[in-house]
Amino acid sequence: MKTEKIQIFDTTLRDGEQVPGCQLNVQEKLVIAEQLELLGVDVIEAGFPISSPGDFEAVKSISALVKDATVCGLTRAVEKDIHVAADALRLARKPRIHTGIGTSELHIKYKLNSTPEKIIERAVAAVSLAKSFVEDVEFYAEDAGRTDNAFLARVCEAAVKAGATVLNIPDTTGYCLPDEYGAKIKYLVDHVRGIENVTLSTHCHNDLGLATANSIAGVRNGARQIECTINGIGERAGNTALEEVVMIMRQHPYLNLDTNINTRLLTQTSQMVAEMMHMTVQPNKAIVGANAFAHSSGIHQDGIIKFRETYEIIDPKEVGVDDSSIVLTARSGRAALAFRMQKLGYKLDKDNLNKAYDSFLVMADARKVVKDDDLHELVEKHKILVNV
Ligand code: KIV
Ligand code: ZN
């Protein structure tokens, strides 16, 4: 079976940047956009041009800078938004306008004070207007996760008829379960006329910790684009993490789904975004957390030293990490101590390893993590014979 390409739509600079404290200036956004292009993303959502002069400027400058990726600007289904986005995207080699409107009962009634029929009219008007400026128009049905499937299919069909090239199905509030979200995508594949001519996109939020699982359920049911951010940053609990969905597809080749991402740049990109956006990555974060390839329990360390794959499903080099690390704590065993000693040039026979290990445990209880300097100190202080 042929492997199909999943487009990676990065929204770090739009949905990610909405997080309080993560705001970037134009220069910083350009640096990240350049890195995203190097990483191999297919689409860069550069901002929401009507929202501020700074965001307009950012979308404009990124449009001029980016060579291969599509550059996308967000709008509401509002005429002025679309005019401003089209202007900001003027210099883009591959411009895309991303326009849309809320489609759930809650959004229609309480946010938009409207009716389902008027929502369809506004969706069609927005897509048609965007289409008068650019060929590539993405339509989002905000809160699609909580939208009735039959109505969602009607809105999507109208958007396709009006010229949308991509249909984005956001689980805006991170509410769906994976099988429910996958079934929603499948329902659209089966019920929207003309859907075979457009790309279906996932856009999942992480309020219940399901953004990654939902995005994968989406592509397993026919979506061909995933919207995501580096480190999963984004509103509230965040968006789908780019590095997670990319590595899931890479690690499960039988899915026959892959991306254009150069995975060796994932760690570097993660660190750049964390630093520039002042948003530290939790140490146990999948793929890019500081502990993602660190082993601290004796049983695991023993396995890793014998054969890496006993406790690692990803070769760290694949994501740009030099090596797995053996962290010495009071839970570590003799094999780990001998391994780290050897890295420092100390070769210990059995008796000296036993002697060193007893002192090591006392040190580890006191210091929690035993570093290289501590090991040098231990060898000297306890007169451990090495290289005998
Ligand atoms: O979460 C969402 O619904 C969005 C849309 C604006 C695409 O970010
Ligand atoms: Zn979103």
Is the entire prediction scored with pTM above 0.75?
yes
Measured from the CB, is residue 138 less than 6 Å from ligand 1? no
Helix, strand, coil shares, percent, the chain, to 5: 50, 15, 35
Domain boundaries, given as residue ranges, for the chain: 4-277, 294-381
pLDDT score of 153 more than 70: yes
pLDDT tens-digit readout, 2-54: 999 999 999 999 999 999 899 999 999 999 999 999 999 999 999 999 999 99
d(C-alpha 359, C-alpha 381), whole Å: 10
| Ligand 1, atom nearest to 142 Cα | 3
pLDDT tens-digit readout, 122-139: 999 999 999 999 999 999
pLDDT score of 386 more than 90: no
Output the six-digit token pair for 1: 């079976």
| Ligand 1 centroid to residue 9 C-alpha, Å | 13
> How far, CA to CA in Å, does 359 sit from each of 57, 326, 330, 343, 384?
61, 19, 11, 19, 10
180, amino acid identity? E
d(C-alpha 11, C-alpha 29), whole Å: 12
pLDDT score of 388 more than 70: no
Task: Please say whether the beta carbons of 74 and 58 come within 8 A.
Answer: no
Q: Of the CATH numbers 3.40.50.300, 3.90.1010.20, 3.20.20.70, 3.40.50.620, which one belongs to the domain with range 4-277?
A: 3.20.20.70
* pLDDT on residue 72: 98
pLDDT tens-digit readout, 219-245: 999 999 999 999 999 999 999 999 999
Give the DSSP letter of residue 289. S
d(C-alpha 125, C-alpha 99), whole Å: 10
* pLDDT on residue 118: 98
pLDDT score of 352 more than 70: yes
Measured from the CB, is residue 140 less than 6 Å from ligand 1? yes
pLDDT tens-digit readout, 167-223: 999 999 999 999 999 999 999 999 999 999 999 999 999 999 999 999 999 999 999
d(C-alpha 80, C-alpha 71), whole Å: 19
| Ligand 2 centroid to residue 308 C-alpha, Å | 38
Test site for ligand 1: of 14, 15, 173, most ligand atoms within 8 A of the Cβ: 15
Query: What average pLDDT does range 370-386 have in this prediction?
Result: 95
Output the six-digit token pair for 269: 């990109």
